[in-house]
Amino acid sequence: MDIWNHTSLSDFILLGLFSHSPYDFLLFSLVLLASAAALAGNIFFLLLIQADRRLHTPMYFFLSQLSLMDLTTTGTVVPKMAANFLSGRRFISRGGCAAQVFLVVMVGGAECFLLAAMAYDRYVAVCHPLRYPVLMNRKACCLLALASWLGGVADSMVDVGMVFSFPYCGSLQVDHFFCEVPALLRLSCADTSLFEDLVYACCVVMLLLPLGVIVASYARVLTAVIRMPSTEGKQKALTTSSSHLAVVSLYYGGAIFSYMQGASARTPVGDRVTSIFYTILTPMLNPLIYSLRNREVGRALKKVLGRWGV
């Protein structure tokens, strides 16, 4: 027996993203290109923030955390998917599967809280500009970021503990390109309905509470912007706020569609499409959204390119 084709009886089999069509390699190339763009864009954005002191502000600190989260998601999912597609070996160990669930759920939860922290940052910057340096000092920003990560870790620990406590005595073929909680629960030979209801309730709370903070913050921001006498001030506030709202729309659009559906309404194809959206497309678009309309990023980019003689 070929040692490279050996699969443990406890391993899961990832059926992958593609359906054995003649266009599989073309589709795989497009997905890989988008993933490479996501990784390169977020790494470059992190380096740009570090390189220019003018970007050492609370807003860009939170954006650097968002880039780290995007890198974690894409880096967790894409390398294994690409290796399985190219090698033809589709298995993943239980430990590897648990790691994927932990990291993807952790980042998903952390990003919820981080987007709420970013909305609060914009609220303080626009509505309380004189108190902004005090309210959003380095310690406050670090605590908000840490709380976001810890919230994601707590959520993922519960999910991993529960998902891998169920028995999997039938088929171990996961109809997905990575280990996602709903795809794994379909394989369990135990009744998982109570846990699925609990996951649904947790997702509602974790999505809607931060969304409430975001909506309340931007309601106050919009009111303050309308009252501003300066056109330049209005334009600056709206530019940064609209970028953040675009990212919020991308994240919450995918998250609500993915996690706030009942189990009966979910399909493997729908899960795969939604997962592509939040593991590859959103991480690719986030750096672009914050770069294209942001003058500070444009100036920092020109400065860095000038150092390199470009």
pLDDT tens-digit map of 222-235: 998 888 877 777 77
pLDDT reading at 53 higher than 80: yes
pLDDT of residue 307 exceeding 90? no
List all residues 6 or more positions away from 205 whose beta carbon is below 8 Å from its beta carbon: none
Is 161 exposed, middle or buried (CB count within 10 Å of its CB: 0-12, 13-18, 19+)? exposed
The pair of structure tokens assigned to 75 is 């880096």
| Span 276-293, pLDDT tens digits | 888 999 999 998 888 776
Other C-beta atoms closer than 10 Å to the C-beta of 205 total 11
State in Å, rounded, how far the first CA of the chain is from the last one: 55
pLDDT band at 178 (very low <50, low <70, confident <90, very high): very high
Q: pTM value? A: 0.88
pLDDT over 80 (residue 254)? no
Query: Closest by alpha carbon to 96, among 216, 10, 208?
Result: 10
Which pLDDT value is given to residue 3? Answer: 33
Distance CA 191, CA 171 (A): 16
173 forms beta bridges with 13
81 — pLDDT class (breaks 50, 70, 90): very high
pLDDT for position 9: 53
Q: What is the mean pLDDT of the chain?
A: 85
In order of start, what are the domains of the chain with their CATH numbers? Answer: 11-289 (1.20.1070.10)
Distance (Å, rounded) from C-alpha 282 to C-alpha 250? 7
If pLDDT is split at 50, 70 and 90, which confidence band does 264 have?
A: low
More confident residue, 201 or 148: 148
Q: What is the pLDDT of residue 239?
A: 77
Asked whether 168 and 235 are in contact (CB, 8 A), the reply is no
Which has more pLDDT, 198 or 75?
75
Assign 6 a pLDDT band (cuts: 50, 70, 90): very low
